Amino acid sequence: MTKTVLICISILLVILAAFYGPKVTRLYKLANLYNEDKIASNFINI
């Protein structure tokens, strides 16, 4: 019983990661765009 619940939860997490993964990475890059240590390289590479 516990094994099946863990398998179902892990499958659900994999599906959610595949669906929301690209959006989360874009938000992370946007949030870190203006970091002081990387701001010059961020705008040079745009």
The pLDDT profile of the chain, 46 residues, written as one tens digit per residue, is 899 999 999 999 999 999 999 999 999 988 888 888 878 777 787 7
Residue 14 lies in a domain: yes
- Whether 12 maps to a domain, the answer reads yes
Which range marks the domain in which residue 21 is found?
Answer: 2-37
Dihedral over alpha carbons 18, 20, 24, 25 (to 10 degrees): 30
**Does the residue 23 lie in any domain?**
yes
The pTM (predicted TM-score) of the whole model is: 0.56
| Token digits of residue 33 | 């765009």
Task: Say what the pLDDT of residue 43 is.
Answer: 77
Three-state SS for 17-39 is: HHHHHHHHHHHHHHHCCCCCCCH
Cα 19 to Cα 7: distance, rounded to the nearest angstrom: 18
| Number of domains comprising the chain | 1
